[in-house]
Amino acid sequence: HRFTIAAVPADGVGTEVVDATRTALAELARRGPEPFEITWREFDWGSHYYAEHGRMMPEDGLDRLRDMDAIFFGAVGWPTVPDHVSLWGLRLAICQGFDQWANIRPVRFLPGVRSPLRGTQGAQDRALDWVVIRENSEGEYAGLGGRNLSARGPGHEVAVQSALFTEAGCERIVRYAFDLARTRQRPKVTGVTKSNAQQYGMVLWDEVFDRVAEEYPDVEAERVLVDAMAARFVLQPESLSVVVASNLHADILSDLGSALAGSLGVAASANLNPERRFPSMFEPVHGSAPDIAGQGVANPIGAFGSAALMLDHLGLRAAAAALEAAIAETTGAGALTPDIGGTATTDEVTKALVDRL
């Protein structure tokens, strides 16, 4: 049980929550239910690296990560670098370079965390327990398109941004969703597209979805349009279990999901290369939060949850479960950062978690 993990804290609160996670994992390794050992390799890439080198990571960055057992990522983005440059130069470069085509984002209530869904009349025990599965390698973020800056002078520029959908790409993510649904208390998959308005890629997705669904008669399957789905998230959260959608749609829906669960700060995610040909990457859903960075109040819960997903991926099921349990006990005991209604600092939440491991 020895693992070499790359730490890529990158920018803003990314560094704060990665530090907190390393502290928590060190304690878990020492005192948890199963022994393991992590050797961290720290990579100091991100927007500060860009300021010095004109790029977000070195040219051979992917090669340096290739032999790692996993990558633990903080968040990328800082006002000094255009967001599309920082995102494509680091996070998307890793996701796409290592074919991490399945992005897994669990959304659930945590004890003690107030939610816009739970605050309302008699809704204390409304269920919220989903996994949003995001296609993470193609779709709207395939990077296809271009700008014609000189077109016909100022005011006449045209830009094209195309989405790419392959049958194989749709099939593997839809199948992943159905396989995951089988392992859940509620075996149900909701497929989300906008196939009424986008008549090529999304219709292909729907057709693949229907075909795969037939192979899983034991799993309930339904298809919903993304706009209706945004409303369903808020109005009928208990009607969902596994939700599978394209890169863009699932990106947006999962942020909505984490807000419904209480805060972006509690949302965890995994970018998986399910074939395990390349390392997978684990990261909180949130960004670098420049508005609160450096104040010591970043919520580390999303990063802790991502670490639990990482341990699970590494085969450390008992350790992952122990970390999940400690997260729930920590929030349940009221150790909460300001974004979820508390006054605790990142360090205080980390200490509260460590005490419960």
Note the residues at the interface with ligand NAI (CB under 6 A): 13, 17, 75-77, 83, 87, 91, 264-265, 283, 286-292, 298-299, 302, 337, 339
Output the six-digit token pair for 308. 């639990």
Residue 15: name its binding partner from Mg ion, ligand NAI, none (Cβ under 5 to 8 Å by kind): none
Report strand pairing: 188-193 vs 242-245: parallel
Q: Identify the burial level of 34 via C-beta atoms within 10 angstroms of its C-beta, where 0-12 means exposed, 13-18 middle and 19 or more buried.
A: middle
**Contact set for Mg ion, span 250-289 (CB under 5 A):** 251
Dihedral angle at the C-alpha atoms of 95, 186, 261, 354, nearest 10 degrees? -80
Residue 264: name its binding partner from Mg ion, ligand NAI, none (Cβ under 5 to 8 Å by kind): ligand NAI
| Smallest separation (angstroms) from ligand NAI to the CB of 16 | 8
Residue 251: name its binding partner from ligand NAI, Mg ion, none (Cβ under 5 to 8 Å by kind): Mg ion
Whichever of 135 and 251 has its CB closer to Mg ion, that residue is 251
| Smallest separation (angstroms) from Mg ion to the CB of 89 | 17
Phi first, then psi: give them for residue 16, nearest 5 degrees: -70, -45
Residue nearest to Mg ion (CB): 251
Whichever of 38 and 298 has its CB closer to ligand NAI, that residue is 298
Backbone dihedral region for residue 261 (phi beyond 0: left; psi -120 to 50: alpha; all else: beta): alpha
Count of residues making up the chain: 357
| Smallest separation (angstroms) from Mg ion to the CB of 283 | 11
**Contact set for Mg ion, span 226-255 (CB under 5 A):** 251
Whichever of 181 and 259 has its CB closer to ligand NAI, that residue is 259
Phi first, then psi: give them for residue 181, nearest 5 degrees: -60, -35
Whichever of 138 and 339 has its CB closer to ligand NAI, that residue is 339
Give the C-alpha distances (Å, rounded to integers) separating 122 from 36, 117, 126, 240: 44, 10, 9, 20
- The answer to whether the CB of 34 falls within 8 A of the CB of 318 is yes
Residue 83: name its binding partner from Mg ion, ligand NAI, none (Cβ under 5 to 8 Å by kind): ligand NAI
Whichever of 32 and 302 has its CB closer to ligand NAI, that residue is 302
Whichever of 206 and 283 has its CB closer to ligand NAI, that residue is 283
| Smallest separation (angstroms) from Mg ion to the CB of 255 | 5
How far apart (Å, rounded) are the C-alpha atoms in residues 144 and 166?
14
Q: Which amino acid is at 328?
A: A
Residues that bind Mg ion (CB under 5 A): 251
